[in-house]
Structure 1
Amino acid sequence: MESIISALVAGGLTLIGTVLTVSSGQKKTEQKLQTAQAVTDCKIDELTREVRLHNNFAQRVPVIEEQVKVINHRIADLEGGK
């Protein structure tokens, strides 16, 4: 009878230790995932900002090119009038 009680106590303590270890590991893993997700979100926000800046620049280049053409034409007209 004593051996059964000893086995049950040992098994119970082993079970408690295992549950505590798994629970602790799970909490650490969740914290690491949250940190990684926060870093990923920050990087995505920064990339989105850079893409918006690039898109704005890409939209403005044709306008600038047209303005340069107009300026060059005006200069040519002024030079031809002298």
Structure 2
Amino acid sequence: MWGTIGAALISAAAAIVVCIINSNSNHKKLLSELEKRDELQAYRIEQLEKKVDKHNNLVERTYELEKRTDVQEEKIRVANHRIEDLENRK
């Protein structure tokens, strides 16, 4: 009887050890996959940040161009007004 109990305990202990080893292996594999995913996400975020910076730069440049255009349009209006004044004096 003690022999049967001993064999059962040894068998149970071996099964538990195998489960622990398997669980540890799966845990390491999962951590590795999560690390790779995190690296990929960091890379994607970096690429998106670069695109946003380019977009913001374009918006700033467009704003500057619009300001310059407004100034040029005002200068043209003033020049046209002066031309009209000169033409009316004759």
Root-mean-square deviation (Å)? 1.9
Deviations 1:17-44 (A, max 9, x none): 0000100000000000000000000000
Equivalent residue letter for 2:38: Q
- Identity among equivalent positions (%) equals 21
Unaligned runs of 5+ in 2: 84-90
Bigger Rg, structure 1 or 2: 2
Inter-partner Cα distance in structure 1 for 2:65 and 2:38: 40
TM-score where L is the length of structure 2: 0.75
TM-score (norm 1): 0.82
Alignment-derived partner of residue 67 in structure 2: 66
Instruction: State the partner residue of 1:5.
Output: 6
CA distance in 2, matches of 1:12, 1:21: 14
Gaps of 5+ in 1: none
Quote the Cα distance in structure 2 between the aligned partners of 1:18 and 1:48.
44
